[in-house]
Homo-oligomer: A and B are copies of this chain.
Amino acid sequence: MGQIIGKQSIIFENAPYIISGGAIVGKKEGEGPLKNTFDEIEMDPTFGGENWEEGESVLQTRTAKLAIAKACMKEEDIRYIFAGDLLGQLIATTYGVKDLNIPLFGLYGACSTMGESMGLAAMTVAAGYADNVLAMASSHFGSAEKTFRFPLEYGSQRPFSTTWTVTGCGATVISKNKGFARITGITTGKIVDFGFKDPMNMGAVMAPAAADVIACHLKDFDRTPDYYDKIITGDLGYVGKKILIDFLRMKGYDISLNHYDCGMEIYDMDTQDTHAGGSGCGCSATVLCGNVYSKIMKKEWNRVLFVPTGALMSTVSYNEGRSVPGIAHCVVIEA
Q: A104-B327, A189-B103, A191-B97 are in contact. Are A320 and B53 (CB under 8 A)?
A: yes
Contacts of A126 in B (CB 8 A): 127
Assuming A108-B89, A116-B105, A120-B120, is B129 touching A2 (CB within 8 A)? yes
The count of chain A contact residues (Cβ–Cβ below 8 Å) is 60
Q: Which of B10, B89, B312 contacts A86 (CB 8 A)?
A: B89
Residue ID in chain B nearest A54 by CB atoms: B320
Q: Is A107 an interface residue (CB 8 A)?
A: yes
Residue A282, interface by CB 8 Å: no
When C-beta atoms are compared, the residue in chain B nearest to A92 turns out to be B317
Q: Is A151 close to B, CB under 8 A?
A: no
A1 engages B87 (CB within 8 Å): no
Q: Which residue of B lies closest to A131 (CB)?
A: B4
Assuming the contacts A2-B128, A98-B325, asked whether A89 and B110 have C-beta atoms less than 8 A apart, the reply is yes
Do A313 and B128 touch (CB < 8 A)?
Answer: no
A88 near B88: Cβ-Cβ < 8 Å: yes
Q: Judging by beta carbons under 8 Å apart, are B128 and A88 in contact?
A: no
**Nearest CB of B to A114, in Å:** 13
Checking B4, B102, B147, B317 against A79 with a beta-carbon cut-off of 8 angstroms, the contacting residue is: B4
Cβ A193 vs Cβ B54 within 8 A: no
Question: Which chain B residue lies CB-closest to A189?
Answer: B103
C-alpha gap A87/B147 in the complex (Å): 13
* Contact present for A190 and B101 (CB under 8 Å): yes
Determine how close the nearest CB of chain B comes to the CB of A119; give it in whole angstroms.
8
A102 to B192, CA, bound (A): 10
Report the separation of the CA atoms of residues A124 and B124 in the bound assembly, to the nearest whole angstrom.
8
Which residues of B sit under 8 angstroms from A110, Cβ to Cβ? 89
Contact in complex: A106, B104 (CB < 8 Å): no
CA distance A86 to B322 in the complex (A): 18
Inter-subunit contact B106/A107 (CB<8 Å): yes
Residue A277, interface by CB 8 Å: no
Show 13 residue pairs from A and B whose CB-CB distance is below 8 angstroms, ordered by the A residue.
Answer: A1-B1, A4-B128, A86-B89, A88-B88, A88-B315, A88-B316, A95-B317, A95-B325, A97-B191, A103-B188, A105-B109, A105-B119, A106-B108
B130–A123 CB distance below 8 A: no
Mask: chain A, 112-137; 1 = CB below 8 Å from B; 0 = not: 00001001100110111110000000
A111 to chain B, nearest CB (A): 11
| Alpha-carbon gap, A80 to B9, bound state (A) | 11
Residues 194 to 249 of chain A near chain B (Cβ within 8 Å): none
A301-335 vs B, CB cutoff 8 Å, 1 = contact: the mask equals: 00000000000111111001010010100000000
